[in-house]
Amino acid sequence: MSLIAGSYERFIWGFKLKSPKDIQSLDLIPLFSFPSHLSTIKCADVSGSAAVSGGSDDTIKIYDLSTCSEIGSLHESATINSLAFYTPASLSFPRNLISAADDGSVSIYDADPFVHLKTVKVHRKGINSLSIHHSGRLALSVGRDECLAMVNLVRGRRSFYCRLGKEASIVKFSETGETFYMVMDEKVSIHESEDARIVLEFNNAKRVLCVASGKGGILFTGGEDRNITAWDTKSGKVAYSIDDAHSARVKGIVVLSDNDEEYPYLVASASSDGNIRVWDLRMGGKEKSNPLAVANTKSRLTCLAGSSIKSIQRPQMGNSASNEQEDGAAE
């Protein structure tokens, strides 16, 4: 299990979660830390041994977690606000990387090797968040133009665009892909993927800054209330929560359930207080929940990403970063 975190101070942090037989003795082992970007890191994603981070220096950095090294860069024309790998269920290494930028564009890359395929203008203003459907054929995005958009990743073009009336900060497909979640300040709405119809809405106490989709219809949220809250998306009620998980706002949540379900109850969180913590969700709701593992980066963390895939394949850079192809992610 691997985790990477980015910071305001342009540092990237990599950790391996050591998982011995005794779950009570988990440990976050540092893999690397260095100033990978020229300015603030805004987003990150991990799939298997491949990891990426995007920053306000208009650059995507690529890392090989098997060698704990940075292996290349992809350059765009604006700040990178969101990154997402597409990894087919049959593979342990991603097929594509999708980025969303502050100029309203979405870029599609082949991930083996990393080669640029196409850039599509999707929003009139900067994109806040992007999420890929598990089929790899489409992605949703929300932006500062107060709109929701759908991108056909196969054809490499925008296929849907509608005004929301208010700016959304996060969009996220559920694990099944049948629904997606959208965040506007402290409000979270659940929508049918087929027609974007609202199924359910619920309100957090304070602004939501990060979400993670769990199994069994659970959605985890974190934000300015410093808690990790697990919502039952069928009822809209709180299933359980870890109160005061951090001393400052929560900026990232990762569900760490490995493929063989050895530890199906683990969730990691990162905060602007500099701490990364791993929790046993079965402790949620108790008077005092203590983390199973803690790492203090002593920096202002902005994002967290992780992967429970154990198999190792080395990511590679392509010979060209500007080859355009008509087809997108899925084919």
Domain residue ranges in the chain? 2-307
pLDDT of residue 294: 94
pLDDT of residue 322: 37
- Match domain 2-307 to its CATH number in 3.40.109.10, 2.130.10.10, 2.40.10.220, 3.40.190.10: 2.130.10.10
Q: How many helices (H) and strands (E) does the chain have?
A: 0, 28
pLDDT of residue 310: 56
Quick one: the chain helix, strand, coil %, rounded to 5?
0, 55, 45
pLDDT of residue 265: 79
Contact 136, 111 (CB under 8 A): no
pLDDT of residue 288: 73
pLDDT of residue 318: 62
Residues 316 and 314: their CA atoms lie apart, in Å, by: 6
Strands of 187-192's sheet, edge to edge? 170-173, 179-184, 187-192, 198-203
pLDDT of residue 118: 95
Question: Which residue type occupies 105?
Answer: S
Provide φ and ψ at 282, rounded to 5°.
-70, -10
First-residue to last-residue Cα distance in the chain: 29
Low-confidence ranges of the chain (pLDDT < 50): 259-260, 311-313, 319-328, 330-331
pLDDT of residue 217: 86
The count of other CB atoms within 10 Å of the CB of residue 141 is 27
C-alpha distances out from residue 190 to 171, 219, 226, 260, Å: 10, 10, 22, 29
Residues 223 and 38: their CA atoms lie apart, in Å, by: 26
